[in-house]
Structure 1
Amino acid sequence: MAAAISFLIILIISLIIVKIAAIMLRLTGLSDDMAKFQARSAFTGTGFTTTESESIAKHPVRRRIIQNLMLLGNVGIVSFMSTLILTFTSFTDQRDILVKSGILGGGVLVLVIISRTGIVDWMLSGIIKSFQKRFTRVYAKDYDNLLFLEGDYEVVKFQLKADSWLVNRSMQELRLIDEGILVLGVRRDDGYYVAAPRGETHLYTGDEIIIYGREEALKDLSVRVSGDAGDREHHIMVEQQRKREGRGPEKLRASRRAAEAVRKSKGVFGKMFRR
């Protein structure tokens, strides 16, 4: 009986450890599914090699979480298997087999039901976030919520070809914001990264751009070729975006002027504070 109870306790502790690690990874910016996948992989020692694994290895906080999880996983699996072996080798009679099997089966079923309800995740998330705000400087970066990656909106990246409509133009000339598209970053062919490119930033053949917007608009932009045809597609997408936002040309120009005024005011106040 003691071995069966020990088995369930070790199983509960293992599940809690994996959930805590998944929540902590999620708070560093990983998606929920990827955080769970990486936490389970590290705890069980599976060690899948993926692009996300590289992002974990290069991130100091994620790397520390995975290192501790791998260490705890080795200890947990050994203890788990030991108690499991003791449980099945300590049967005395048929009644004892039925009782212990019932305890194990019922305990595992209860754990599965509780883990599926999301109550444990909710409680642990609150505790970890409170601990994080008080004792750490790692800010929560749930990119899915921050960027509203739901419905038609997503973040994609693609490399610019020589015939792309974007090539050899500045951000100011392209006016992608009129299409509802934001350029988050540009990685040059030599590896140099331009974060939040400004109006004077030019795009060239071989650049890899990271953009945010609606799936339809991003797909159209990725295959848009230079020339009159590309210009016409740009105007069509701009008109569609205006209708979607319910703004005419005058309101659109007014919003641009307001945004420009805010940008300039920030620059003035920034200079005052720097002084």
Structure 2
Amino acid sequence: MVSVYPILSLLVIFALSLLVVRVGSVALRMTGLSPDVASFQATSAFSGAGYTTEEAERVVETPERRTVTKALIRLGSLGLVSTISSLVLSFTDAAGEELPNFVTIVAGVGGLVLLARSDWFNRLVTPVIEWGLRRTTDLDLRDYTRVLGLQREYRVAEVEVDAGDWLADESLADLDLPAEGVLVLGVRRGDTYIGAPRSDTEVRPGDVVVLYGKEDRLRELSDRESGDDRTREYAVADHERDLEVQDELVGEETESERQR
């Protein structure tokens, strides 16, 4: 007979661990980290893995992120791993029950992992977590992902400029990237970072340009070669069509508000 209570205890602890990591991930994301980075760093802090990466340094840049990370580290150090180990040993010692217990554990843990990775479940749970964090914490949390529209088709990307690229050896004024729906947030040149660069800033081979715009446009820009005027014209026309659609949507919303 399967040892029900030890297995249920194990699955409850595992589910709570997933929930804690999920809450920590959402909290870090609300402070400006990307979803992937927030999830990885929340898991790292909770498990005590302690990966040293550039993103890990960003986690401790602000008081809000340090508070979230410390909470995850403390919760992860409460001996959950030891508790799980003890529970596993308690029912694997039972004679003749090793295989049924093992199958039950694998099935239960697999089901929880699939549920945690489910898109519809995350869409259901994430707003609840965000609401709870805003109601129960005094952290100054801002969902920069939502503010910038990064959960849609917009992205922030770093594009390394090589000789012969369309971006190389041109000033930002001559490139006129806003006409394509792309904003230049900064230019990294060696150890120097130029934030909010002026229009006369020249992009040089070896620079890394930080851009904000639609993902497909950023990908195309990173591969566009010098002299490719046709692609440039298409990008400008495509952005103008987007603006027309946006104007129509704004006009419809304004007309709907007037009718109310």
Give the TM-score taking structure 2 as reference length.
0.69
In the TM superposition, 1:125-164 aligns within 5 A as: 125-134=126-135, 135=137, 136-142=139-145, 146-147=149-150, 150=153, 155-158=157-160
Match of 1:66 among 64, 69, 81: 69
Please name the residue that 2:195 is paired with: 194
In the TM superposition, 1:225-264 aligns within 5 A as: 232-233=227-228, 235-245=229-239
Please name the residue that 2:12 is paired with: 9
| CA–CA distance in structure 2, aligned partners of residues 109 and 168 of structure 1 | 53
| CA–CA distance in structure 2, aligned partners of residues 185 and 18 of structure 1 | 32
Alpha carbons of structure 1 residues 190 and 11: separation in structure 2 relative to 1, 3 Å: closer
Match of 2:90 among 80, 86, 92: 86
| Offset, 1:156 | 2.1
| Offset, 1:204 | 6.1
| Offset, 1:73 | 1.8
> Is the 8 Å Cα contact of residues 181 and 218 (structure 1) preserved in structure 2?
no
> Is the 8 Å Cα contact of residues 32 and 142 (structure 2) preserved in structure 1?
no
Structure 2 runs not aligned, ≥5 long: 248-260
| 3-state DSSP of counterpart to 1:184 | strand
Identity of aligned residues (%): 29
Structure 1 runs not aligned, ≥5 long: 225-231, 256-275
Please name the residue that 1:258 is paired with: none
| 3-state DSSP of counterpart to 1:146 | coil
Please name the residue that 1:182 is paired with: 183
| Offset, 1:120 | 4.4
Q: Which segment drifts farther, 18-27 or 139-148?
A: 139-148
1:11 maps to amino acid: F
Match of 1:52 among 51, 55, 70: 55
Please name the residue that 1:203 is paired with: 202
| 3-state DSSP of counterpart to 2:23 | helix
| 3-state DSSP of counterpart to 2:144 | coil
Please name the residue that 2:27 is paired with: 24
| CA–CA distance in structure 2, aligned partners of residues 21 and 176 of structure 1 | 37
Please name the residue that 2:123 is paired with: 122
| Offset, 1:211 | 1.9
| CA–CA distance in structure 2, aligned partners of residues 242 and 138 of structure 1 | 36
Please name the residue that 1:273 is paired with: none
Please name the residue that 1:269 is paired with: none
| CA–CA distance in structure 2, aligned partners of residues 17 and 110 of structure 1 | 17
| 3-state DSSP of counterpart to 1:186 | strand
1:211 maps to amino acid: L
Q: Which segment drifts farther, 5-14 or 211-220?
A: 211-220
| CA–CA distance in structure 2, aligned partners of residues 148 and 5 of structure 1 | 36
| CA–CA distance in structure 1, aligned partners of residues 236 and 110 of structure 2 | 53
Deviations 1:198-243 (A, max 9, x none): 43x42365754312341222322xx64xxxxxxx44x434422244
